[in-house]
Amino acid sequence: MNSLCNEVYDPDYRPNVGIMLINKQHQILAGEAIHCSGEWMMPQGGIDQGETPHQALQRELVEETGIEFRAVNLIQENSEWISYLFRKPLIKNGQLYIGQRQKWFLLEYNGSIPNAETTIDREFSQFNWVEIDWLIEHTTQFKKEVYRSVFETFHTSFP
């Protein structure tokens, strides 16, 4: 089950950043997962060894969306880490993980929708601007509670 945690390290959970990009209409940039057609998600990615969450945010933003950090406005960083279990354990670089522990960032972006086919990491088949309720309905089951928590945390910070 999903759980919120404060600065507690658990080696079973992969450290990760989550990226919530909104536009002036408060729509969220979401991508359809390339490996699971019909499942839509916000960009996210692992924090590499020796990397800060803020450094991972900048790298993952480019890798997953092609959007440069200078093209966005950082609005808020979630003070808490949010963790969730994978649908099945994952082995990454020889380490077994049962879930992810994420630091979320809220960014404003008012550029064009990225082209999923030209991204460094082909995580998504397409991108679109979506509403909060639509994204919760169309994401994978194990991310629904994470997204509800992220939306609740960031909702008052929308510009």
Residue 159 — pLDDT band, cuts 50, 70, 90? low
Is pLDDT at 92 greater than 80 in this prediction?
Answer: yes
Predicted model pTM: 0.89
Domain boundaries of the chain, sorted by first residue: 3-157
Tell how far CA 30 is from the center of its chain. 9
Counting every residue, how long is the chain?
Answer: 159
User: pLDDT for 94-146, tens place per residue?
Assistant: 888 889 999 999 999 999 999 999 999 899 999 999 999 999 999 999 899 99
User: pLDDT for 51-69, tens place per residue?
Assistant: 999 999 999 999 999 999 9
The CATH number that domain 3-157 falls under is 3.90.79.10
**3-class DSSP state of 34:** coil
Is pLDDT at 6 greater than 50 in this prediction?
Answer: no
